[in-house]
Amino acid sequence: MRRRVILAGALFVAVNSFPQPGAAPDRNNLNWCLSSSPQCDFTRLTPAEIGQIGAAVRKRNLENCTSGRAGCDPTALDTTDLGAVVAGIKQRNFEKCRLGAPDCDPTNLDEKDAAAVAAARRQRNFDDCLRGAASCDPTILDSKQAAAVSTASRQRNLDRCLNGAAACDPTMLDPKQAAAVVAASRRRNLEHCLNRSVMCDPSLLDAQQARTVAEAAQRHNLNDCMSGFSSCDPSRLTPKDRTAVEAAFRERNFQSCLRGFANCDPSRLNGPQLAEVADSIRKRRGTRTGR
């Protein structure tokens, strides 16, 4: 008897908490409730407004479920919507599996989708093997794929060898490739020697290359000497070159003396040059005195 009294009292409070017919609608409260705001007060809603809220909640839940968002509650879906949502879940999972995503659930694939996912995985593995990726699993390649991967691997090794890379494996080269690699190595050595690189190995030069390098070295040394560089080696100059270098030195010395530079050697000046330098000195001194 006491329980019936309590239930009757609760029902009376609940019914009387709703606005009475004819009461003005509270638009702000309705909007808060529609947007799931914490300011929503359900006790101030009319039955019609409660129906609106229920429809809005179901719509949001359906949208969350359809798009796979975390706010989805599948148990709140009706039968029609649940079928569409489940189909969407399966399709999204299929795409994840097909692309090799870590959150793929292979147990949720049907036979057709599982076959498509397996084919996509084999293709990704084939692509990885073709480019020599560490993720390559050669054990799942078919015979045709294995042959293509082997050819690609030999080509990558040939490219490394031709470029002088440390990862070159000369044991993978056939005789024709080995000859091409040796020729490329000799060309690189010739370039090193022509550029006076420390990587130059003169012992690898053939007779023609040695002559070419010697001529280039002679030109480099002559240019260094003509410019007065410390890298000049006068002992390597020919008599003709030595004459040109001496003339270039005298001209540089003359210019240094004209400008009053510390490296001027007046003993190397001839008569006309001495006169011109003396005149230049007088002019500089006169300019300073005039100030």
Q: Where are the domains of the chain?
A: 1-77
Taking only the tens place, the pLDDT of each residue in 27-60 is 888 888 888 888 888 888 888 888 888 888 888 8
Indicate if the pLDDT at residue 187 is higher than 50. Answer: yes
Tell me, what's the pLDDT at 53?
Answer: 81
Torsion-angle region of residue 238: left (phi > 0), alpha (psi -120 to 50) or beta?
beta
Taking only the tens place, the pLDDT of each residue in 82-137 is 888 888 888 889 999 999 999 999 999 999 999 999 999 999 999 999 999 999 99
Structure tokens at 244: 């040109």
pLDDT, mean over the chain: 85
Q: At what angle do helices 111-130 and 79-98 cross, to 10 degrees?
A: 20
* Residue 2: pLDDT band with limits 50, 70, 90: very low
CB of 117 closer than 8 Å to CB of 105: no
Report the alpha-carbon distance of residue 5 to residue 29 in Å, rounded.
32
Report the amino acid identity of residue 104. Answer: C
* Residue 23: pLDDT band with limits 50, 70, 90: very low
Taking only the tens place, the pLDDT of each residue in 213-226 is 999 999 999 999 99
What percent of the chain shows pLDDT beyond 70?
A: 90
Indicate if the pLDDT at residue 8 is higher than 80. Answer: no
The model carries a pTM of: 0.54
* Residue 240: pLDDT band with limits 50, 70, 90: very high
Tell me, what's the pLDDT at 129?
Answer: 95
Taking only the tens place, the pLDDT of each residue in 129-163 is 999 999 999 999 999 999 999 999 999 999 999 99
Tell me, what's the pLDDT at 288?
Answer: 65
Q: Which residues of 179-216 are buried (b: 16+ CB within 10 A; e: fewer)?
A: eebeeeeeebbbebbbeeeeebeeebbeeebeeebeee
* Residue 289: pLDDT band with limits 50, 70, 90: low
Tell me, what's the pLDDT at 60?
Answer: 86
Dump the DSSP string for 207-230.
HHHHHHHHHHHHHHHHHHHHHT-T
Tell me, what's the pLDDT at 28?
Answer: 86
For residues 17 and 25, which has the higher predicted lDDT (pLDDT)?
Answer: 25
Tell me, what's the pLDDT at 13?
Answer: 37
